[in-house]
Chains A and B, each alone.
Chain A
């Protein structure tokens, strides 16, 4: 950790010195995020964050950018006296090395730009939920912050020819998605089901990451974009891996004759190919967009080991499936802004049988010269079985007020109200209604 601080210190000195000499800047923000469950007043999130952004360019030929985040969490992890002697246990914190990349403009060719380094690559025209954006893994740490992506170390080359843009990406190493934690840990996973009479004592799992070599961990993607009939259009292809783990082996070890078992699971990241297409434009004054991702997964076999007996089945079929989003936005004459999207297949859903339908919506209105923004109605609804939708639905409502008292200062308060029936993401969290308070100052 000392080494990390030293590196940051050196970076700061270098950037500070450079600042005076060239077009360099150091910006950042301070952020606090606090959440509380409404039913028992327990705090679920208490985070303070300092983000620093370094940016600069000595010439028109290149540009560099880096962002680091220092985050402190207010929940001590203390279980014994010795823990009280460590500040990192009392006040947990981490350092996130987010983006760090170099842009090379007109690199070798007049119309070629290259970006090398740790970066976020967002493809797709939809808001936050992008089935065609598969290069960067999902960052689902905050499960309500849909669409947040983690960075990947990669090379992105973009070539411009007339009205066409050709992009190619190579990611040498595999980075898995960040999963939800704490009370949200089970939000994206189905509960384990056991035959009648079987009781779980302990469960464990093992993640098997792909070997970090060219044929196993590499990902590549290509995209061609253009404008046709006043619509922005693109088609893309991705070859890589699903960034969420899939269970391919379960070992069930009987402990006693009463049916008590220990379960050990093994999980892998299946290979997949995605052919994508997206569009954005206007239709009768309404902004519209859409994207579709035709996913072709590799078949994954499932092994269930119970004693000496091994049962084989299919964990993931190689049948292609299609996730898609259709969305639109409109500003009414009274200033109310509406943004809505219909989504077939959320980030964690795979295979034709598992794709569910979601509708996201957000009404917002700004007041006092944009100093106050109120979202009286925002959220998402999901239906997992249209034949019995009364017992298979879920929703999250997210009313929110944002106040900008001064330049660079943002104060947000709101709530997540969840409900539902059946087995779905929102109904699994229905006891977790919470209120939040966030503040951010940029500098």
Chain B
């Protein structure tokens, strides 16, 4: 009997140990996920955004996005004509600037605007910043399916977000986030983000299609990557107020 107990205990320790060794912590999963999305040293992406309302009416926006590391991002609208030249710069320490050609001015984005919709899309200004979930959210592993980790993310103490929690589906094989649910302050599901068509570009995983759906408004924004250049050695000068109002 004693031998049997020892054997069972050893077996349990081995099983638990094996599981522990195979399943990274929620925090590690989130860090890995951020790292995979922001893996290229820099990115230059031509995007086409299609906005669809609940009646099926569509609006199209074209833009160019530059990103370096996981903290610097510049987005410039190419169309429609009334938004051409509107540019958005996201820098470290939550600093964001907007250039509106009609006003000839670069304006600092106040923190209360960061949760507003970005140019009529379903993404907020905050969503349009480079994604660094691990820095801003505490993660808990809810479930592990055959090929996905399911995490729950709660904003860290002192971090102000318009979402009370997030639920994130992360691929086990490459840590790429495939789906994120965003919950409002009443813990009601508000937005749904999905990454699709995730393929390797060289050594990096890239989703060539992503869609954010606002479930309350029944409105969605689909982003299609039309051209992508990775690791082209983008200069830090691109991510400056100086460059924000430049055409090229």
Q: Which residues of A contact B (CB under 8 A)?
A: 23, 25, 27-29, 55, 57, 59-60, 63, 103, 105, 113, 120-122, 158, 160, 165, 230, 232, 280-282, 285-288, 329-331, 368-370, 406-408, 410, 440, 442-443
Q: Is the pair B248, A63 in contact by a Cβ cutoff of 8 Å?
A: yes
Which A residues are in CB contact (< 8 Å) with B217?
369
A130 to B84, CA, bound (A): 25
Q: Is the pair B108, A27 in contact by a Cβ cutoff of 8 Å?
A: no
Q: Is the pair A160, B246 in contact by a Cβ cutoff of 8 Å?
A: no
Partner of A287, one of B51, B80, B81, B113: B113
Which A residues are in CB contact (< 8 Å) with B117?
369-370
Q: Is the pair B246, A369 in contact by a Cβ cutoff of 8 Å?
A: no
Q: Is the pair B108, A280 in contact by a Cβ cutoff of 8 Å?
A: yes
Please tell me if B247 contacts chain A, counting CB pairs below 8 Å: yes
- Name the CB-closest residue of A to B79: A407
A419 to B241, CA, bound (A): 42
- Name the CB-closest residue of B to A128: B103
Give the number of A-B contacts (CB < 8 Å).
80
User: Which of A27, A60, A286, A369 has the most B CB atoms < 10 Å from its CB?
Assistant: A369
Which B residues are in CB contact (< 8 Å) with A165?
241-242
Q: Is the pair B82, A407 in contact by a Cβ cutoff of 8 Å?
A: yes
How many whole Å from A310's CB to the nearest CB in chain B? 46
Q: Is the pair B248, A23 in contact by a Cβ cutoff of 8 Å?
A: yes
In the A-B complex, list the 6 residue pairs whose CB atoms are closest, starting with the nearest: A287-B110, A442-B82, A442-B81, A407-B80, A370-B120, A331-B112
Which B residues are in CB contact (< 8 Å) with A329?
110, 112
Chain B: residues with Cβ within 8 Å of the partner, total of: 32
How many whole Å from B151's CB to the nearest CB in chain A? 27
A285 to B246, CA, bound (A): 29
Q: Is the pair A63, B51 in contact by a Cβ cutoff of 8 Å?
A: no
Please tell me if B116 contacts chain A, counting CB pairs below 8 Å: yes
Partner of B84, one of A27, A158, A287: A27
A330 to B114, CA, bound (A): 11
- Contact A369:B112 (CB < 8 A) given known A60-B248, A407-B82: no
- Contact A408:B108 (CB < 8 A) given known A63-B247, A369-B120: no
Please tell me if B11 contacts chain A, counting CB pairs below 8 Å: no
Q: A282-B110, A288-B110 are in contact. List 20 more A-B contacts (CB 8 A).
A: A23-B247, A23-B248, A27-B84, A63-B248, A122-B103, A280-B108, A281-B108, A286-B110, A287-B108, A287-B112, A287-B113, A329-B112, A331-B112, A369-B120, A369-B219, A407-B59, A407-B60, A407-B82, A440-B82, A443-B81
- Contact A369:B53 (CB < 8 A) given known A407-B60, A407-B80, A442-B81: yes
| Chain B 203-225 per-residue mask, 1 if CB under 8 angstroms from chain A, else 0 | 00000000000000101000000
Which B residues are in CB contact (< 8 Å) with A410?
82
- Name the CB-closest residue of B to A331: B112
How many whole Å from A386's CB to the nearest CB in chain B? 31
How many whole Å from A31's CB to the nearest CB in chain B? 11
Which A residues are in CB contact (< 8 Å) with B93?
230
Please tell me if B164 contacts chain A, counting CB pairs below 8 Å: no
Which A residues are in CB contact (< 8 Å) with B156?
none
A23 to B247, CA, bound (A): 10
Q: Is the pair A408, B111 in contact by a Cβ cutoff of 8 Å?
A: no
Please tell me if B105 contacts chain A, counting CB pairs below 8 Å: yes
- Name the CB-closest residue of B to A130: B105
Q: Which residues of B contact A (CB under 8 A)?
A: 51, 53, 59-60, 80-82, 84, 93, 95, 103-105, 107-108, 110-113, 115-117, 120, 160, 217, 219, 240-242, 246-248
A410 to B248, CA, bound (A): 28
A121 to B245, CA, bound (A): 13
- Contact A105:B112 (CB < 8 A) given known A280-B107, A407-B59: no
A71 to B114, CA, bound (A): 38
How many whole Å from A107's CB to the nearest CB in chain B? 13
Which B residues are in CB contact (< 8 Å) with A408?
80-82
- Name the CB-closest residue of A to B104: A122
Q: Is the pair A57, B113 in contact by a Cβ cutoff of 8 Å?
A: no
- Name the CB-closest residue of B to A158: B242
Q: Is the pair B104, A160 in contact by a Cβ cutoff of 8 Å?
A: no
- Contact A282:B247 (CB < 8 A) given known A369-B120, A407-B59, A407-B60: no
How many whole Å from B178's CB to the nearest CB in chain A? 25
Partner of A285, one of B108, B112, B219: B112
A28 to B82, CA, bound (A): 9
A59 to B91, CA, bound (A): 26
Q: Is the pair A120, B104 in contact by a Cβ cutoff of 8 Å?
A: yes
A165 to B120, CA, bound (A): 32
A280 to B98, CA, bound (A): 13
Q: Show 11 residue pairs from A and B whose CB-CB distance is below 8 angstroms, ordered by the A residue.
A: A23-B247, A27-B81, A29-B81, A55-B247, A120-B104, A285-B110, A287-B108, A329-B112, A370-B117, A407-B82, A408-B82
Which A residues are in CB contact (< 8 Å) with B247?
23, 55, 57, 63
Q: Is the pair A122, B105 in contact by a Cβ cutoff of 8 Å?
A: yes
- Name the CB-closest residue of A to B81: A442
Which A residues are in CB contact (< 8 Å) with B116?
331
A236 to B28, CA, bound (A): 49
Q: Is the pair B82, A286 in contact by a Cβ cutoff of 8 Å?
A: no
User: Which of B80, B160, B242, B248 has the most A CB atoms < 10 Å from its CB?
Assistant: B248
A63 to B219, CA, bound (A): 38
Which A residues are in CB contact (< 8 Å) with B51?
369
Which B residues are in CB contact (< 8 Å) with A443?
81
User: Which of B53, B103, B108, B217 has the most A CB atoms < 10 Å from its CB?
Assistant: B108
Which A residues are in CB contact (< 8 Å) with B103?
122
How many whole Å from B172's CB to the nearest CB in chain A? 36
